[in-house]
């Protein structure tokens, strides 16, 4: 799993663009060449012994518009005894990973941070799910989706922050935002609502522009602002949904994962508010020049970035 939400933001973005434009035949050839080095970074252990891996197939998704992600699948086999537990681990350099077992109803899902070895996996046994285990696994997933990965969500929270200097009012705004995106996140993850990212992502950028511009015309938080934040939360929830959808969560794990993810997001948002308050609000919010020299200039930067992202995502 990448540490950025957009590959254009990655250091190796030029390499991503190069491979994205490769033909299916060329990509299969590329994967075949790197398999020997990739194989050494994937470790499947049973009885504390490494299990040999064998490349079986490479599936490359056809692509007409190379501005969008394309998916490739490397299929390899490992001979393990299904009646005895085994573990999975891969290189820390490859980032976080989600393990998924066979079947959507009775299969297992485990989220692993980069380089961490999985817990014991036994194919032949019915998996047992513990609410607390899955719940705590997905709190950091939600948190890291805000800090450091969710720059657009961070800017939205920044825009909210600079309209008020009262922490209590700010926490209520953040809570409204979280409640709203929890609704659409659940609905989108369950497939009840489906809206193309090409529509959602520009609108998220537009929401950043809106809160930044409104800071120029409003001086206090009010009910209208709370309703607007709630509505934008519904929109951002559709953006968050792509994260959980990628995990392919089994039905049994959906509730604890969703709750844990949302709490992680809430903790990330509150962390941003506390950081801003500690660095700026606490020291300067009572100054008569606070709005003129801090709120409005920073809101201008936030709005311009949102406007840039809006046109970038539309075009």
Alpha helices in the chain (DSSP H): 13-20, 24-40, 131-146, 151-161, 167-189, 197-217, 223-247, 251-276, 282-284, 290, 296-314
Same domain (yes/no): 107, 158: no
Same domain (yes/no): 153, 241: yes
Same domain (yes/no): 123, 140: no
Domain end point (choices 128, 154, 172): 128
Domain end point (choices 128, 144, 169): 128
The Cα 131–Cα 81 span in angstroms is 28
Same domain (yes/no): 42, 181: no
Asked if residue 1 is part of any domain, the answer here is no
Residue 289 φ then ψ, to 5°: -100, 5
Tokens of 99: 């393990």
Asked if residue 266 is part of any domain, the answer here is yes
Pick from 225, 139, 240: nearest CA to 181: 240
Same domain (yes/no): 237, 306: yes
Pick from 307, 188, 203: nearest CA to 244: 188
pLDDT tens profile 246-298? 655 556 677 888 888 889 999 999 999 999 999 998 899 889 999 999 999 99
pLDDT interval class at 3 (50, 70, 90): low
Same domain (yes/no): 148, 295: yes
Pick from 144, 85, 103: nearest CA to 267: 144
Tokens of 308: 């840039």
The helix/strand/coil state of 66 is: coil
| Dihedral sign, Cα of residue 252, residue 255, residue 256, residue 258 | positive
Q: Average pLDDT for residues 119-138, to the nearest whole number?
A: 74
pLDDT tens profile 63-107? 766 666 677 888 999 998 878 889 999 998 888 887 877 644 455
Q: What are residue 109's DSSP bridge partners? A: 100
Same domain (yes/no): 150, 115: no
pLDDT at 247: 58
The answer to whether 186 and 238 are in contact (CB under 8 A) is no
How far out from the chain centre does Cα 284 lie? Answer: 33
The answer to whether 24 and 70 are in contact (CB under 8 A) is no
Same domain (yes/no): 297, 194: yes
Same domain (yes/no): 96, 148: no
pLDDT tens profile 12-32? 777 877 887 788 888 889 988
Same domain (yes/no): 116, 152: no
The Cα 125–Cα 100 span in angstroms is 15
pLDDT tens profile 163-208? 877 788 888 888 888 889 889 988 887 778 888 888 888 999 999 9
Domain total in the chain: 2
Q: Identify the domain containing residue 84 by its residue range.
A: 7-128
The DSSP code sequence of 163-217 is: T---HHHHHHHHHHHHHHHHHHHHHHHTTS----HHHHHHHHHHHHHHHHHHHHH
Domain end point (choices 75, 95, 128): 128
Please give the model's pTM, rounded to 2 decimal places: 0.69
Same domain (yes/no): 196, 301: yes
Compute the mean pLDDT over every residue in the chain, rounded to the nearest whole number.
83
Asked if residue 2 is part of any domain, the answer here is no
Q: Average pLDDT for residues 130-145, to the nearest whole number?
A: 84
């Amino acid at each position: 799993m990448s540490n950025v939400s957009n590959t254009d933001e990655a250091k190796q973005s030029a390499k991503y663009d190069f491979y994205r434009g490769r033909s299916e035949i060329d990509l299969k050839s590329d994967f075949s060449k790197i398999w020997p080095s990739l194989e050494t970074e994937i470790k499947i252990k049973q009885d504390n012994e490494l299990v040999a891996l064998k490349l079986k197939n490479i599936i490359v998704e056809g692509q007409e518009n190379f501005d969008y992600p394309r998916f490739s699948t490397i299929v390899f086999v490992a001979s393990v005894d299904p009646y005895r537990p085994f573990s999975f681990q891969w290189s820390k350099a490859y980032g976080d990973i989600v393990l998924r077992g066979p079947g959507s109803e009775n299969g297992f899902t485990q989220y692993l941070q980069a380089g961490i070895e999985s817990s014991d996996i036994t194919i032949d046994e019915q998996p047992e799910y513990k609410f607390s285990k899955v719940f705590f696994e997905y709190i950091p997933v939600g948190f890291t989706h805000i800090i450091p990965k969710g720059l657009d969500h961070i800017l939205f929270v920044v825009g909210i922050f600079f309209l008020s200097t009262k922490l209590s009012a700010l926490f209520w705004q953040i809570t409204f935002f979280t409640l709203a995106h929890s609704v659409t996140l659940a609905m989108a993850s369950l497939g009840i609502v489906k809206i193309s990212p090409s529509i959602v992502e520009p609108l998220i950028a537009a929401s950043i522009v809106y809160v930044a511009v409104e800071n120029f015309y409003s001086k206090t938080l009010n009910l209208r602002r709370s309703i607007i934040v709630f509505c934008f939360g519904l929109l951002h929830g559709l953006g968050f949904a792509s994260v959980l959808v990628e995990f392919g969560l089994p039905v049994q794990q959906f509730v604890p994962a969703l709750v844990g993810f949302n709490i992680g997001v809430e903790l990330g948002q509150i962390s941003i508010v506390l950081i801003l308050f500690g660095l700026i609000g606490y020291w300067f919010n009572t100054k008569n020049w606070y709005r003129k020299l801090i709120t409005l200039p920073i809101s201008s930067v936030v709005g311009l970035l949102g406007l840039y992202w809006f046109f970038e995502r539309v075009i």
